[in-house]
Every structure is written in C-alpha cells, then in structure tokens.
Amino acid sequence: MNKLTIDEVSLQNKRVLMRVDFNVPLDGGKVTDDTRIRAALPSIHKVLKSGGKLILMSHLGRPKGQRAEKYSLKPAAEQLSQLLGKSVTLAPDCVGTETEDLVGKMQNGDVVVLENLRFHAEEEANDAEFARKLAALADVYINDAFGAAHRAHASTEGVTHIISQSAAGYLMEKELRSLGTLLADPARPFIAIIGGAKISGKIDVIRNLLPRVDAILVGGGMVYTFLRSKGVETGKSLVEEDKMSVAQAVYDFLGSVQNRNNAELVLPDDHVVAASIDAAAGKNVEEIPADLLGVDIGPKAIARYQGLIASARTIFWNGPMGVFENGAFAKGTMSVAAAVAKATDNGGFSVVGGGDSVSALMKSGLSGHISHISTGGGASLEFMSGKALPGVEALTPAS
C-alpha cells in the first residue's frame, strides 16, 4: 500500500474525520442489514482506543441535495450506538454552526455522526467551499468508505486537499489488498466468473482480466450477446445488438498472440429457457427456441463451471448467472455460490465483488466461506477494470 494508513497517524487528542459507508438498507426507521456499519468497526475502535474524537460522515440513498427525513442517518447512528455499547450523537447537519459547536465540545472517545452528506448538492459536486467546511471540523482524515472511493466527491476527495494527513482505514486497506492480489499476484489457476445483465456493464472488467486469468466463466444476460456475435440463435434472449463488435473484439484477443496465458472464455453449454423472466418454471435446452429467452445457465453448464471452479486457486466472482430474483431461475447462481465456497474451504482465495452476487451469497448462507466479500459493487468493478479510484489516489502518499 503506497498510501498513509490509519496505523501511521497519531490519533490521540485529535479530531478525526472519518468517511464511512453507512449507506445501509432501512425499513420503518430501522437498519435491516448492518454489514456496512460492522465493516467500519475496526477503524472506529482504533480511533476510540487511541483517544481520538471521532466524527463520522456518510451518504445514504439519493436525497438529491435536499433534506429528507427518510434519508436521515439516525437509524445508522442508533445501530452504531448499539454495536459500540455507548452513546453516539447525530449532528443536525454535516456542516453549519450548530454542528461546529457540537464538534467543538467533543471529548476524547466521543462519537458524532454527521447528518447525510447528500442533503447538500455540493457533496457530489465536490464543491471546494463545502469541502473546506467539512475539513474545518477535523485535524486528521481517514477514508474507510471503499464503496464510495470511485467517486470524487467533497467527502472522498475534496477534503484531502485541505487536511494535511489523509489516511486509509482498515476496511479500505483490506479491500485494496484483496482486490489488488487478484490483479497483481494471483495463484493459478485464476478463474473469473462474470455474470449480470449486460456486456456493457462488465466489458472493462473482462478486458482487464483476460490477460491475467486462465478462464472467464460467463453467465447472465451477456451470454446471449456473445453467442449472437458467433451467429448462434438466441431466441428472445437479452442481446445488445450494438455490442456485437465488443464481443468480437474479445474473441480476437483470445485468438491473438497477446493471449499469453491461453485464457479461455467459457460460455454455457446449455440454458434454462422460459417465455418470460417472471415465468413459474423453465426448461433445459442446448439450442434456444426462437420464441423463448435464456434465463439461467443449464445443468451441463453448472457441472462444467463447478468443475472449473473446484480446480481454481484464485477466484473472482461478479454478477448472477441468471435471473436469480425469480427462485425458479436461481439454480445457476446458487450452484456457483456453493462451488466458490467449497473451493475456498479447500484452500482457494476467493473475492466476490458487490451487488447481486453478494445478495445471492447471503441468501445461500455461504458468505462465511468466502475469503473477501467486497463492500463496494461499483468501486470493486472500477478497480478490477484497472481504473484508479479518486478516493484512494487522493490519500497522502506513504512516507
């Protein structure tokens, strides 16, 4: 890690402004999944143990620059208070005199959660004056919000121009180390499993991974654009007509001398097809009929993917294998989840990147059998695409 980390800054007696990702799901004013809050606890405990004054800031939902009570961080602050077993104060806003006064009265070991950053449009606009107001609350800045690191906002980027010490928290470090291992030094065989709706959402990741992996197993809607680009009948399946050339460029790479690892792009041998994604059941086919659409990978594909996953020593998984929200078409995704968990139990290193693959893992109860589950869907995809994350770039270089 070439950036300053939380272990390298003095926190005692300091006002520590920490960007966290408390963008948690709510129902009736209660947090329904506190994974993201728990993920920030190691850094939170570190500041409190070191005798700092902890000022936490986060966004929640999309209030679009307007104050809206349903996006208040109150439930998150209450949940944090429960987890810490101590009182946590929610500031009335993230900037302004009242908040400044509240922070001015803090004692070492106190915790204040600033109200939702996105109640101000200046946050996402990375407004310099807004960043200055946030930065004025603190002596030291810690960024532990990996899930927001792909955005150059006032709380992730702007403040670092003003606070002289800007360090990565433990969660940020762990995310960068785990994802970084995949790109820099993966044990082989390295298998990536890429699913989801469209090629367009994942092509940058596929392009960046192809020279690094031994195989990419493809699932989800993007299968059909790859098949169609080879002239295969795909019926009513999701096909991105304008992405045919992108699919073709992937095949061109695989057949070229640049494909030094002899990487393979593995498409399903068979499919589950149905009349619609809401159908009660589907049928298994090798050739997709003209009036039906592909909604999951079929049993032969599941068996092949499971075999390949079992042989892998490094695994990266992003995106469902089918329309898994419909239980009738969740088998491919759940089977992949089980295979990744098993390969990890057998000594493999696995990273699951955000979004739907994480919900599938949670549903299957196998999340404890994965080496690293990324807390940032968008951020992990950008990182795996080889792009720099503004929130990481902005941190103080390690001395």
Question: Residue 138 half-sphere exposure, CB side, CA atoms within 13 Å?
Answer: 31
Give the nearest distance from C-beta 341 to ligand AMP in angstroms. Answer: 19
Minimum CB–partner distance for residue 309 and ligand AMP (Å): 18
Distance CA 277, CA 295 (A): 6
Of the pair 109, 201, the CB lying nearest ligand AMP is at 201
- Binding segment for ligand AMP (CB under 6 A), chosen from 58-66, 103-111, 148-156, 316-324, is 316-324
Catalytic residues: 36, 198, 355, 378
Strands 349-353 and 271-274: unpaired
Instruction: Check binding of 338 to ligand AMP (CB under 6 A).
Output: no
**Min dist. Cβ of residue 269 to ligand AMP (A):** 15
Q: Between 52 and 196, name the residue whose CB sits nearer to ligand AMP.
A: 196
Buried b (16+ CB within 10 A) or exposed e, 273-300: bbeebebeebeeeeebeeebbbbbbbbe
Report strand pairing: 293-297 vs 271-274.
antiparallel
- The values of phi and psi at residue 398, to 5°, are -65, 145
Q: Does 332 contact ligand AMP by CB under 6 A?
A: no
Q: 92 preceded by cis ω (within 30°)?
A: no
Instruction: Give the DSSP letter string of 123-166.
Output: HHTT-HHHHHHHHTT-SEEEE--GGGTTS--TTTTGGGGTSS-E
CB of 321 to ligand AMP, least distance (A): 7
If DSSP codes are grouped into helix, strand and coil, which group holds residue 27? strand
| Residue carrying the six token digits 């149905």 | 274
Q: Please, are residues 247 and 225 in contact by the beta-carbon 8 Å criterion?
A: yes
282 lines the binding site for ligand AMP (CB under 6 A):
no
Beta carbon nearer to ligand AMP, 20 or 295: 295
Choose between 183 and 197: whose C-beta lies nearer to ligand AMP.
197
- Smallest distance, Å, CB 148 to ligand AMP? 18
Applying CB under 6 A, does 378 fall inside the site for ligand AMP? no
> Binding of ligand AMP at residue 320 (CB under 6 A)?
yes
User: Phi and psi at residue 114, in whole multiples of 5°?
Assistant: -75, 150
Please identify which residue in 169, 294, 348, 376 interacts with ligand AMP, judged by CB under 6 A: 294
Position 348 contacts ligand AMP (CB under 6 A): no
* Nearest CA-CA partner of 58 in 164, 181, 142, 2: 142
Q: Shortest gap between Cβ of 359 and ligand AMP (angstroms)? A: 10
Structure-block tokens of residue 151 = 């955005």
**Site membership for ligand AMP, residue 325 (CB under 6 A):** yes
Three-state SS for 224-238 is: HHHHHHCCCCCCCCC
Range 190-249, binding ligand AMP (CB under 6 A):
196-198, 201, 220-221, 238
Alpha-carbon 184 to chain mean position: 19
Stretch that binds ligand AMP, among 10-18, 228-236, 248-256, 317-325 (CB under 6 A): 317-325
Give the one residue of 52, 322, 353, 376 binding ligand AMP; rule: CB under 6 A: 322
CA angle at 178 for the pair 18 and 148, rounded to the nearest 5°: 35
Least Cβ distance, residue 381 to ligand AMP (angstroms): 9
Q: Is 390 in the site for ligand AMP (CB under 6 A)?
A: no
Binding residues (CB under 6 A) for ligand AMP: these are 196-198, 201, 220-221, 238, 294-295, 319-320, 322-323, 325, 355-356
